Amino acid sequence: MSATILYHIHGIRSYTYLKQKLVPGGIEFYIAAGATQLVCPCCGSTHVWQKGTKERRFRSLPLGRKHTTIVLLVPRVFCHDCKTTRQIKISFAEEHKRYTRFFERHVLDLLLSMTCQDVAEHLGLSWDTVRDIEKRRLTRDFAKPPLKHVTQIAMDEIAVRKGHKSLTIVMDFQSGPARKSLALLYIFSMRKTRKC
């Protein structure tokens, strides 16, 4: 049953379900990586030797009002080809992140109708974590905007942080249904210079 929940609710597959544990305010799922996942994260070689493990914890989708944590002993491997020792890649979370991709998507869904502060309080996260998730989504979506069909642009400048910083926004003027919305192309961030 729990392996099914891990797969369908949390997007975790190819890992072995070990046990679950109720803790104050939440539930922890313990999983283990299989032998087939012992691959060098640098060069992809399977000519590796396991060199210990490191426990890592990942926030995942809540079950009702309970926080869910995925606990995984991440194997460290020594690669005989590139001579490096690293942790193996985790398929359900981004590198260096302490939450799963499904949890990240849940945060982004909530941000569609809530502020960063509301989402942080609702999920028991720090404001910085929520903001980081939103910033990475913006970077993914707008780092390389398609410019091929852009014929007209609109520009505007807004002040943020009480005027200490200004943002120049560049938009595709021809996009959107009946021009009601403008597709964002670029945001230039500029720190205002202090007047003497």
Which of 40, 70, 72, 185 is in the footprint of Zn ion by CB under 5 A? 40
Which of 6, 70, 79, 130 is in the footprint of Zn ion by CB under 5 A? 79
- Torsion angle of alpha carbons 100, 144, 183, 177, nearest 10°? -90
Residue 42 within binding range of Zn ion, rule CB under 5 A: yes
Amino acid identity of residue 46, one-letter, is T
Nearest distance, CB of residue 86 and Zn ion, angstroms: 8
Residue nearer to Zn ion on the CB measure, 2 or 37: 37
Per-residue CA distances from 126 to 12, 131, 140, 143 (Å)? 24, 9, 22, 25
For residue 180, the tally of other CB atoms under 10 A from its CB is: 6
Residue 130 within binding range of Zn ion, rule CB under 5 A: no
The one segment of 35-43, 51-59, 91-99, 129-137 that binds Zn ion by CB under 5 A: 35-43
Residue 171 within binding range of Zn ion, rule CB under 5 A: no
Give contact residues for Zn ion (rule: CB under 5 A). Answer: 40, 42-43, 45, 79, 81-82
